[in-house]
Amino acid sequence: MSKREFEFYRRFKQRIELSSSNISNSILTSSAFNNLIRANIITKISKGRGWVYAIKNYNSFNEFFDERYPNSELLIESEVDNQLKYKDTKATAVSKERVTLLRGFQEIHANGEAVDLAYHTQHFDLFSLVLRELHVPKICFVENLEVFWNIEKIVSKEYLFVHFYGRLPSREILEKIETNEVLFAPDYDLLGLHEYLKIKDVFADAKLLMPSNFDYLYDRYAKPRKANDTLYENVANSSLEEVVALREQIVHHNKFLEQQILLSGEAQW
């Protein structure tokens, strides 16, 4: 069952008949649709040069619809609503709380509370929260989880280290952070540049974490680009020196460098 299927039966219920050309093959071949035909609830009728499907027994069709979609009028606000309406938690996109992971060796102010992050990092390895407010002098966003666990080996402990569960969050969430200095540690691919520019849109002075011997590391350890590593519009149009240089290197060689190499001992700073 899917949202597409739900919308089809809802539209069919309203219009009574639909041209076969307006019905997807996945619906036409589905067991539910063919069971309705066999039960003589829906019938196929020749019309002009084509065919239409029409509801023959409207009461039975309504019973089918109400049994299959008992919460058809429900407004979707959560994955629970998706399950109740479509029997599929991911049928439609819903707003979700984003979990943010923090590591650091200082006291910070988060969501209106003072947090001894050094204690949490030393005793529990990290601190997590749903970010509503954050005040910190220096912050380093880390894309990869493994690097996040070890980032203090290559970046000063003066920074608060942040890893977002999933991809970089919306501008609205980033704007909840007040800081004086921002560093971003991504994979060195087009997606990494895309997210770097999204961070730069909020924190104009943000810097990209780049080892001084990047070209050596790239030549030695870069791997073929992923199929979904597309040239994002903001990356293609950027004139920032560091973005242009890395973009041209990635596109020319059709390779990218994973950020785990930063922990190898071969990166120089």
**Which candidate, 101, 78, 262, places its Cα nearest to that of 169?**
101
Find all residues with CB under 8 Å of 25, minimum gap 6, and list them: none
Token pair for 268 = 């120089």
* pLDDT tens-place string over residues 2-58: 788 888 888 888 887 888 888 989 899 999 999 999 999 999 998 888 889 999 998
Ordered domains of the chain (ranges, CATH)? 3-86 (1.10.10), 99-263 (3.40.1360.10)
What does the DSSP 8-state code read for residue 188?
B
Query: How do residues 82-139 score in pLDDT, each as one tens digit?
Result: 788 877 787 777 666 788 999 999 999 999 999 999 999 999 999 999 999 999 999 9
Give the predicted TM-score (pTM) of the model.
0.69
pLDDT at 94: 62
242 to each of 140, 166, 187, how far by Cα in Å?
A: 18, 25, 14
